[in-house]
Amino acid sequence: MKPAMAAVVWLSCWMPLGAQVTYDRLLHADKEPQNWLTYAGSYKSWRYSTLDQIRIGNARKLELKWIYQLNAIDKFEATPLVVDGVMYFTQPPSDVIAVDGKTGRAFWTYRYPLAGNVSVCCGRVNRGLAILGDLVFLAALDGNLVALDAKTGKEVWKTRVVDPSLGYSLTMAPLVVKDKVILGPAGGEFGIRGFLAAFDARTGKEVWRFNTTPGPGEAGHETWAGDAWQHGGAPVWLTGSYDPELNLIVQGVGNPSPDWNATVRPGDNLYASSVIAVDADTGKLKWHYQFVPHDAWDWDAIQTPVMVDAEWQGQPRKLLYWANRNGVFYVLDRTNGKFLSGKPFVKVTWLAGFDENGRPKLQPNSLPTAEGTLVYPGVQGGTNWYAPSYSPRTGLFYLSVWADYYSVYQEGEAEYVPGRRFNGGNIRQPLAFGRNATLLPDEEQGYGALKAINPKTGDMVWQVKFADLTEGGVLTTAGDVVFTGNREGYFHAFDARDGKLLWKVSLGGYIAAGPVTYSVDGKQYVAVAAGHGMFVFGLRE
Amino acid sequence: MRGLGAAVVLASWAWAQAPTERLFNARVDPEQGRKLWSANCAVCHGAEGKGGRGPDLTTGKFRHGGTDDDLYRALRNGIPGTEMPGFPLTGVESMQLLAFVRALGRAAMPPPPEGDAARGRALFAGGQCTSCHRVDGTGSRIGPELSDVGARLPPSDLLASLLRPDERVQPANWYVRVVTRDGRTITGRRLNEDTYSVQLIDAQDRLVSLVKQDLKEYQLIKKSPMPSYEGKLTREQLGDLVAYLASLKGTL
């Protein structure tokens, strides 16, 4: 039997007849731009599409094609998936809806029976789904991983991943690699113990687990004092990326708990506020880089890892681009985690440079105190989980930023009580956060913007400032259009080269999700979650 | 438990959403203001604000601008060319401290005689007040609605507003002055604003929405368009007006 044939037989052992989304399709997601098969568009997580029907010259002809109105009150942060004309998205907290990509008419709705004992720091949100074969995977807020039949929305299996009564929750879109579903928990504000785990896509059985706060006998345990690792946070609440050549899952890890009282957890607190690279089959750690050793500011490394193969100082290299919540844009070598460069993209006052290993040097008087320490960037970060984008056509990295604002970080009591908040202090900041534009922040206090960065230098190439802050994800296309939304409810198309506004529409609701593009019957669409609706645009005919 | 859950959510500070620390609308605690004064300001301006290395702040007059906005900036950034440094206070702390500084200034402002609310009402209705302010359904909507102002502000603040209207202007009462490309000037109270447009109410109570791209000039005015009534009204008239305003408690 030829090897290719053997693979087909092996796959057919567990994939139902006519299984749609094979692993091979996920692996080559960029070859089928009519679809959007993973949270960030492909394993490289560029959020870039080769579709070019909508381009600089005609973006002004975009018009509304359909809206799907949610039946929800919680914030809509979901990135949809699109598979062969069918769009799948989550309705917060944890429902799943399948609709026709051309008309927005629903095929089915799955209503998840949410438990009542979930504690979340920041909203009952969900950021999206994963798909493999005929199964759609949902990480439900109250701690269950659920596999649904993609054709009917019926539950196929359900696995308890974490216990919500201890402050754990699930908010991320899972990542499917080979035959496994990869995810981790949120709950850093409740003193959880973070991990990244893989579950068998057929059965929901856990296959491996990597603890992001290592226990006795695990490498990195020595970076924690006493039993602080047991409630050390390091949550995993945003989808990672996968490098098939290296067979590595590259994953960002959240901040250590308690957030602002770092005194009770001496040491570097690995693998909090780090990027980790683990073997996709075993979960074994291959390398790590810690952006903020002994993080005392809540600067989760919860960002999308963007993988680019490019020249670095004359040598072709496998790079990792990373705009961190701590305000610094990093370039790492993703074969070994080596630090190549780090440059602030907003005002940063905590950093005094890097040593020869890329470990950051702290400015004096940056750590939180009982009286409070003023540090830039503020607690929401220079950026956050907001999906960035990389366009190979412009070579630029695009992201939403909160620029040039501070917080006063105050250390306080930190007593761990199961299921309770475990912040260890307080945050005070001058920015008037608000959805109401009459309370816009003064620009002097900081501002929100879409920024384009040259990853080779870390320098800003252009930016578009908004009147309010922005949490919008970013999409780029081969039409050299950048799409993003903001808190004001505007959805924009900009020229990817210079940031010139090509088109905009007011959707009347907060945009805090990543847009996607897809095509059906040869027509390109752009979709974005705004307010409590999924809005889809295409060119006027 | 549900109540506790809600409180926990409101107290949240982490990644996705932060609660609003509404700077200028912050609830002000004068006692906190005094503590902040003692810790940060007293060393130069004196324990009671009478001055020392820094100037006397009890006169109610400020050389570098006396609006909340001016004082907030001075506090945050310092005053260039002087020994006054900036202080790393949060927005709410700054407002508490400003409230204390205001109180120092008020002490220099002799209270008007106890007034008569009925005479104040006549003065209010007969004067220019209703061309901007609305009380119980009468008067223009361009200025702040005053139907419940007596429930919101103590008499000392009402008097201060009449004498020094620029001191404290809430963002909801900021004005916009624009000149359109065709040369029209429009002034009004800002109701909303975003990256591309601004919404306001003008002196004729019209709701106006303007696209910023169509404007030649755009100015956000954080001072009050109301004149000071210092020297324009007698002390008795001021007392009557304050008594009337203090009697407005709203109908809700």
Task: Give the model's confidence band at A327: pLDDT under 50 very low, under 70 low, under 90 confident, else very high.
Answer: very high
Q: Which of A75, A188, A428 sits opposite B90 (nearest CB)?
A: A428
Peptide bond into A266 cis (omega under 30): no
Measured in angstroms, the CA of A117 and the nearest CA of chain B are apart by: 10
Task: Give the model's confidence band at A39: pLDDT under 50 very low, under 70 low, under 90 confident, else very high.
Answer: very high
Specify the pLDDT at position A443. 57
Q: Which of A121, A437, A439 sits opposite B14 (nearest CB)?
A: A121
For residue B187, with 0-12 CB atoms within 10 Å meaning exposed, 13-18 middle and 19 or more buried, which class applies? middle
Q: Which residues of A touch B12 (CB under 8 A)?
A: 121-122, 189
Q: In this complex, do B21 and A298 lie within 8 Å of one another by their Cβ atoms? A: no
Do B54 and B64 contact (CB within 8 A), yes or no? no
Q: Which residues of A touch B89 (CB under 8 A)?
A: 408
Measured in angstroms, the CA of B90 and the nearest CA of chain A are apart by: 5
**Which residues of A have a catalytic role annotated?**
298
pLDDT tens digits, A190-240: 999 999 999 999 999 999 999 999 999 999 999 999 999 999 999 999 999
pLDDT tens digits, A465-522: 998 889 999 999 999 999 999 999 999 999 999 999 999 999 999 999 999 999 999 9
Q: Which residues of B touch A490 (CB under 8 A)?
A: 194-196
Specify the pLDDT at position B15. 27
Q: Which two tokens stand for residue A324?
A: 């961190």
Lowest mean pLDDT among A101-105, A123-127, B37-41, B227-231: B37-41
- Of all residues in chain A, the percent with pLDDT exceeding 90 is 89
CA angle A26, A28, A29 (to 5 degrees): 60
The counts of H helices and E strands in chain B are 9, 7
CA atoms within 13 A on the CB side of B170: 13
Q: Which of B11, B20, B193 sits opposite A432 (nearest CB)?
A: B20
Residue type, position A111, single letter: R
Do A236 and A278 contact (CB within 8 A), yes or no? no
Measured in angstroms, the CA of A533 and the nearest CA of chain B are apart by: 19
Burial A313-327 (b: 16+ CB within 10 A, else e): eeeebbbbbbbbbbb
Q: Which residues pair with A275 in a beta bridge?
A: A252, A289
Q: In this complex, do A434 and B171 lie within 8 Å of one another by their Cβ atoms? A: no
Do A496 and A481 contact (CB within 8 A), yes or no? yes
Instruction: Give the separation between CA B242 and CA A488, rounded to whole angstroms.
Output: 40
Q: Which two tokens stand for residue A421?
A: 């908040």
Q: Which residues of A touch B196 (CB under 8 A)?
A: 490, 504
Q: How many CB atoms lie within 10 A of CB A1?
A: 8
Strand order in the sheet with B207-211: B207-211, B197-202, B185-193, B175-180, B215-221
pLDDT tens digits, A374-397: 899 999 999 999 999 999 999 999
* Strand positions, DSSP E, A79-205: 81-83, 86-91, 95-100, 106-110, 130-132, 135-139, 144-149, 155-160, 175-177, 180-183, 195-200
| pLDDT tens-digit profile, chain B (252 residues) | 333 333 333 222 222 222 223 344 445 666 788 888 888 888 888 888 888 888 888 887 888 887 777 888 788 778 888 888 888 777 677 778 888 888 887 776 777 778 999 999 999 999 889 999 999 999 999 999 999 999 888 888 899 899 989 887 877 888 999 999 999 999 999 988 889 999 999 989 999 999 999 999 999 898 899 999 989 999 999 999 999 999 999 875
Q: Give A482's contacts (C-beta < 8 A, 6+ positions apart).
A: A389, A391, A398, A450, A452, A474, A475, A476, A492, A493, A494, A495, A496, A499
Which residue from A minimizes the CA distance to B16?
A122
- Tell which residue, A281, A278, A197, A180, has the closest CA to residue A235: A197
Instruction: Give the separation between CA B216 and CA B214, rounded to whole angstroms.
Output: 7
Average pLDDT over residues A437-446: 54
Q: Which of B15, B19, B94 sits opposite A384 (nearest CB)?
A: B15
Q: Which residues of B touch A189 (CB under 8 A)?
A: 12, 14
Instruction: Give the separation between CA A256 and CA A264, rounded to whole angstroms.
Output: 11
Size of interface A-B (CB pairs under 8 A): 111
Q: In this complex, do B15 and A385 lie within 8 Å of one another by their Cβ atoms? A: yes
Q: Which residues of A touch B21 (CB under 8 A)?
A: 428-433
Specify the pLDDT at position A439. 41
The helix (H) or strand (E) run that includes residue B33 is helix B30-40
Superfamily for the A16-539 domain? Quinoprotein alcohol dehydrogenase-like superfamily (2.140.10.10)
Q: In this complex, do B21 and A430 lie within 8 Å of one another by their Cβ atoms? A: yes
* Strand positions, DSSP E, A6-84: 48-49, 62-69, 81-83
Q: Which residues of A touch B22 (CB under 8 A)?
A: 432, 434, 439
pLDDT at A357 over 70: yes
Domains of chain B, first to last: 19-107 (1.10.760.10), 117-165+229-247 (1.10.760.10), 171-221 (2.30.30.100)
Burial B29-44 (b: 16+ CB within 10 A, else e): eeebbbebbeebbbee
Measured in angstroms, the CA of A313 and the nearest CA of chain B are apart by: 35
Instruction: Give the separation between CA B16 and CA A123, rounded to whole angstroms.
Output: 8
Instruction: Give the separation between CA B150 and CA B127, rounded to whole angstroms.
Output: 19
Q: What is the CA radius of gyration of chain A?
A: 22
Q: In this complex, do A372 and B23 lie within 8 Å of one another by their Cβ atoms? A: no
Residue type, position A489, single letter: G
Q: Which residues of A touch B26 (CB under 8 A)?
A: none
Specify the pLDDT at position B10. 29
- Tell which residue, A474, A495, A498, has the closest CA to residue A486: A474
Q: In this complex, do B88 and A372 lie within 8 Å of one another by their Cβ atoms? A: yes
Instruction: Give the separation between CA B49 and CA B55, rounded to whole angstroms.
Output: 8
- Of all residues in chain A, the percent with pLDDT exceeding 70 is 94
pLDDT at A336 over 90: yes
Specify the pLDDT at position B79. 87
Measured in angstroms, the CA of B127 and the nearest CA of chain A are apart by: 30
Q: How many CB atoms lie within 10 A of CB A98?
A: 22
Strand-strand pairing, A48-49 and A474-477: parallel
- Tell which residue, A457, A470, A351, A498, has the closest CA to residue A403: A470
Residue type, position B66, single letter: G
Specify the pLDDT at position B222. 84
Q: Which of B18, B94, B191 sits opposite A433 (nearest CB)?
A: B18
Q: In this complex, do B23 and A426 lie within 8 Å of one another by their Cβ atoms? A: no
Instruction: Give the separation between CA A198 and CA A208, rounded to whole angstroms.
Output: 5
Mutation choice for A interface testing from B2, B15, B170, B198 by most A CBs within 10 A: B15
Measured in angstroms, the CA of A161 and the nearest CA of chain B are apart by: 22
Interface residues from chain B to A (CB-CB < 8 Å): 5, 8-9, 11-23, 25, 73, 76, 88-94, 171-172, 190-196
3-class secondary structure, A411: strand
For residue B64, with 0-12 CB atoms within 10 Å meaning exposed, 13-18 middle and 19 or more buried, which class applies? middle
pLDDT at A288 over 90: yes
